[in-house]
Chain A
Amino acid sequence: MLLSSLIFIPILGMIVVMLMPKGSDKAVKWTATLISAIPMIVSFWITWDYFTNFAHSSAMAYVEGPFSWISTLNVQYYLGVDGISVPMLFLTGLLSTISLMASFGIKTRVKEYFAFFLLLEAGMMGVFVSLDFFLFYVFWEIMLVPMYFLIGIWGGPRKEYAAIKFFLYTLFGSIFMLVAILILYFTSEPHTLNMMTLIETSPNLTHTLQMVCFIFFFVAFAIKVPVWPFHTWLPDAHVEAPTAVSVILAGVLLKMGTYAMLRVSWPMFPSALRELSFWIAVLGVIGIIYGALVSMAQKDLKKLVAYSSVSHMGYCMLALGAFSSVTAMAGVMFQMVSHGLITGALFLLVGVLYDRAHTREIAAFGGLGAHLPIYTGVMVLFGMAALGLPGMSGFVSEFMIFVGAFGALNKVLVGISVLGVVLGAAYILRMIQNIFLGEFDSAKWGGLTDINARELATVIPLGILTLVIGIYPKPLEILMSATLQNLVNLMAR
């Protein structure tokens, strides 16, 4: 019931919001936000309860089902969570509510906006709790629809292009996943779509079939991450999307790709993984360096943050290449959580500035530091977190990734990837320097007001979590260590 409620409460909320009368914009905003707070609280409780009661084993917790849904096709309604999905649920619950709070500035078509957002939340929750391939695929695809509308209706000047590009690109990836799912279904005996069963039996598949399925899944997931060279939809979508949608996109949607790799394709096809892991790490390193270099060249603040995501997700791919190391796997999870918190906050802060200045061009600003002290402080804090300053979550995750990958992978490759940290520092510091230091143009920006309480309330929880994980990462590590150990064992088969 607990996991189902995470999916169905937002859907119920969507229906409630849609039925509310015209012109009740304020009520719609509050209703939607409060409804999304319920799954948030549930996800917090699950995190706490999992930590205290279930973290010692890798078994699925809060299992629902498997109930037969479409018995002719052996489709089941089967939910469950373990150490890698619980942090994702936490992140989804938190970021959804925060994004809704950050959306109070939406003025046009308010009802539709909040309804779509709740549907999006349901889809995301569904992906992280499904243990049946069909169900997983359904949620994976459901999300695309609200995302398409959210970018397309409330987006920036090139919203139509960005929306359809995102939709088509992701669907293109999904069809590969669908073929792989069908192949797995018909080769299993008896036919099943149950992920847990398939993880146990699929190493018996022939090597060719494993390779085919692995690559098909990889394409689908890599587009979502996005892994270089599948990243081109990301800057478009991020730049055109409204602030809150960017937060969800960076904070949750990108994590779906890496989560799905850990959940599905990595433990399922160990022999294919062994053969291809080096190349996956190479793609990761290219992503790290390429994303960082392109970030340095950006004139648009939001685009800078978007490309930094490509770089940061590259670390995840590097670590995923080092599949034999538990430390690297923990690094992946830490990086996912930490990137979700930090980049989510950065997008919120970019949105705060854009709402006031109506431009995101870095060169247009200068010297804001003295004029907007609180805003500057928060922005610098998250900037430092993004470049991996010790004491913040970004440092912990990158450190774990490098330590894990160094032992398991080609040392030259890992050496190159460390350059990414330097480049990361370069683009963040350059951005801070250009916006907050230097000459202040009081004629142009004298009217800017500092960040207000509501906006501050959206980023403070993210800041606290970034610091807590940075200073004391142990609880998060305990939460997922048993699951990760089990995953590494499965991958070593």
Chain B
Amino acid sequence: MEFVLPEYSLRIMSPEIFLFIWALVIITYDVVTKRKNGSSTGYLALLGLMITGLLLAFSGKGVGFGSMFYNDNTSIFFKIIFLGAAFMAIGSSFGITTNKIVNHRGEFYGLMLLSTVGMMFLASSNELLSLYIGLELTTIPLFVLAAFFKDNKLSVEAGIKYFIIGAFSSALLLYGISFLYGMSGTTDIVQMKINLAITHLTFQNIGVILILAIVMLVAGIGFKLGLPPFHQWVPDVYEGAPTPVAAFLSVGSKAAGLIAFAKIFVNGLYAFHSPDLSPNDWGILVAIIAVLAMIIGNTVAIRQTNIKRMLGYSAIAQAGYIMIGVVAMNKLGMSSMGFYMFAYMFANMGAFAVVALVEDKTGSCEISNYSGLSKTSPMLSGIFAVFLLSLAGIPPLAGFLAKYYVFAAGIQAAQSSPSLSWMYWVVGIGLLTTVFALYYYANVIKQMYFSKEASPYTIKFSVPSLTVLFIGLAGVIILGLIPEPIISFTSDFANSFGLIP
């Protein structure tokens, strides 16, 4: 067969191509200027992300490279999340990078952009192998970034831990993919769905292998998403990694895992969700994992004294909430998954930006450092409180609407068929755990506001971190009050996953 490379394929891939080149340019620039360029490397990286965003807006939708590369509403939306997360992570990194990694700015920003390229590639791929490659391109730069403070024991530990776990989970994922390939004879996700159904009808007993494949895949992606029982690495890595990297991990990497999960499971294995086709219902398995995530994340977070560890456990819990939307597998569910991730990006990146600023000033991430901060830095405390309340799901902030949306999807699924009535329990437990969640978020607010003594620290802003804080704040408030534009964008996500909307 003659292989033609149509022009429009390059066009829809232009954001990725540009960002990839830009990452290399930044590394080169840093070397050429003999690392004496101040923070201009960082600004260059931000500029690159903005140009990529523009390219994304103009590149349009379409299919390219056979059917391997899709650009539809879902992938564009997730790419915006990746770009936004990278933008906010880099913006909040200025204070830290000037202090500690002044000699390695090029690598830091270059790797950050490369990881973003991987995520964007992954969001567009519609084929198991390219999806796997995207995932690898996402995580390998992150291994390095996690260990970036090479003379800091915790950072190195974080890097090693993340590397071992990441490599292990990638192997599991690949093994799972090989099973799917063995059963369906294709790596194209849409074709795989059809072939699997045919195989299933012909040979009735592909069940065992399918279960094996599902378990491998759930474990592989579960590691990336930080879902229990594969979550142990999350708090350790968040604690040790540079704060902007932890922030990027918590949003970018999570969104990447989420989209990979949705592509493989909702699109590829959808047929096996309904019990009359197969007893191997992965929905219940994932629902149990989501419930575990919400319970473990929200209860263990209460005990944390380090704010990055606390946010790590909170990230585990938030992943659990998002999975409710995925398991619901209806139009609302897919839409809520996107909306949740978007709302989470603003609140979480904003919160980590505050943590980075405070860490830079006080030298540690203990929650007790925040005591009395509202008296010396009222604006920072106020903004941080808004982020925390949004993460806790208090209206009218974006986090509330996101939770409402996810739970609504869960209830709808529960009512749609008696075989899904267990979704009531998932939603019920999810709601109950939000009460626990409020406790630890409010605890930080308590430290900032209720203490009688003023904090010894006054936190100063740099322009980029102030920008990040305001982007986060605006996102959290506007998304909560005027969500309609975003929701109308996300509401056709079900199409991308082969669901009838």
Contacts and interface: CB of A to CB of B under 8 A. Distances in A.
Contacts of A72: 335, 484, 487-488, 491
B434 A171 contact: yes
A141 to B, nearest CB: 5
B438 interface: yes
A335 B394 CA distance: 31
Nearest to A185: B408
Nearest to A138: B395
Interface string B416-431: 0000000000011001
A152 B449 contact: yes
Please tell me the size bucket of the interface on B.
20 to 34
Given A152-B450, A164-B439, A175-B434, A141 B407 contact: no
B484 A141 contact: no
A178 B400 contact: no
Chain B CB within 10 Å, residue with most, of A141, A148, A152, A187 = A148
B411 A148 contact: no
A142 interface: yes
B201 interface: no
Contact of A179 (B335, B394, B428, B445): B428
Given A72-B491, A159-B450, A160-B450, A178 B442 contact: no
Contact of B411 (A163, A168, A172, A179): A179
A492 interface: no
Contacts of A164: 439, 442-443, 446
Nearest to A187: B415
Interface string B372-407: 000000000000000001000011100011001101
A163 B449 CA distance: 12
Interface in A158-180: 159-160, 163-164, 167-168, 171-172, 175, 178-179
Nearest to B437: A171
Given A153-B449, A179-B431, A186-B415, A73 B442 contact: no
A168 B438 contact: yes
B126 interface: no
Interface string A179-215: 1001101110000000000000000000000000000
B412 interface: yes
Interface in B94-114: none
A182 to B, nearest CB: 4
B450 A186 contact: no
A141 B400 CA distance: 10
A194 to B, nearest CB: 16
B474 interface: no
Contacts of A145: 389, 394
A164 B441 CA distance: 11
Interface string A106-128: 00000000000000000000000
Contacts of B400: 138, 141
A165 B449 CA distance: 16
Interface in A60-77: 69-73
B435 interface: yes
Given A137-B395, A138-B395, A142-B395, A148 B431 contact: no
B425 to A, nearest CB: 11
Contacts of B396: 138, 142
B322 to A, nearest CB: 18
B483 interface: yes
A4 B483 CA distance: 20
Nearest to B409: A182
Given A179-B428, A186-B411, A160 B446 contact: yes
B233 to A, nearest CB: 30
Interface in A137-159: 137-138, 141-142, 144-145, 148-149, 152-153, 159
Interface in B453-499: 483-484, 487-488, 491
Please tell me the size bucket of the interface on A.
20 to 34
Given A152-B449, A167-B442, A179-B411, A141 B395 contact: yes
B373 to A, nearest CB: 13
Nearest to A172: B435
Contacts of B401: 70
A217 B419 CA distance: 26
A327 to B, nearest CB: 37
B212 interface: no
A160 B435 CA distance: 17
B435 A179 contact: no
A73 B438 contact: no
B432 to A, nearest CB: 7
Contacts of B412: 186
A160 B451 CA distance: 9
A141 B431 contact: no
A8 to B, nearest CB: 12
B394 A182 contact: no
Nearest to B450: A152
Contacts of A138: 395-396, 400
Contacts of B335: 72
Contacts of B389: 145
Chain B CB within 10 Å, residue with most, of A159, A164, A171 = A171
Contacts of A178: 404, 407, 431
Contacts of A175: 431-432, 434-435
A317 B449 CA distance: 37
A15 B335 CA distance: 34
B400 to A, nearest CB: 7
Contacts of A149: 449
Contacts of A69: 484
A187 B442 CA distance: 35
A138 B395 CA distance: 5
A186 B332 CA distance: 12
Nearest to B386: A145
Contacts of B432: 175
A178 B488 CA distance: 23
B147 to A, nearest CB: 38
Nearest to A175: B431
Chain A CB within 10 Å, residue with most, of B389, B427, B431 = B431
A168 B435 CA distance: 6
Nearest to A71: B484
A148 B442 contact: yes
A164 B436 CA distance: 11
Contacts of A186: 408, 411-412, 415
Nearest to B446: A160
A338 B183 CA distance: 74
23 contacts: A69-B484, A72-B335, A72-B487, A72-B491, A73-B404, A73-B408, A137-B395, A141-B394, A145-B394, A148-B442, A148-B445, A152-B446, A163-B446, A164-B442, A164-B443, A171-B435, A171-B438, A175-B432, A178-B407, A179-B411, A182-B427, A186-B411, A187-B415
Given A160-B446, A172-B435, A182-B408, 4 more contacts: A134-B404, A164-B439, A171-B434, A183-B415
Report, nearest first, the 10 A-B pairs whose CB atoms are least far apart.
A175-B431, A138-B395, A182-B411, A152-B450, A72-B487, A141-B395, A172-B435, A186-B415, A186-B412, A72-B491
Interface of B: 335, 389, 394-396, 400-401, 404-405, 407-408, 411-412, 415, 427-428, 431-432, 434-435, 438-439, 442-443, 445-446, 449-450, 483-484, 487-488, 491
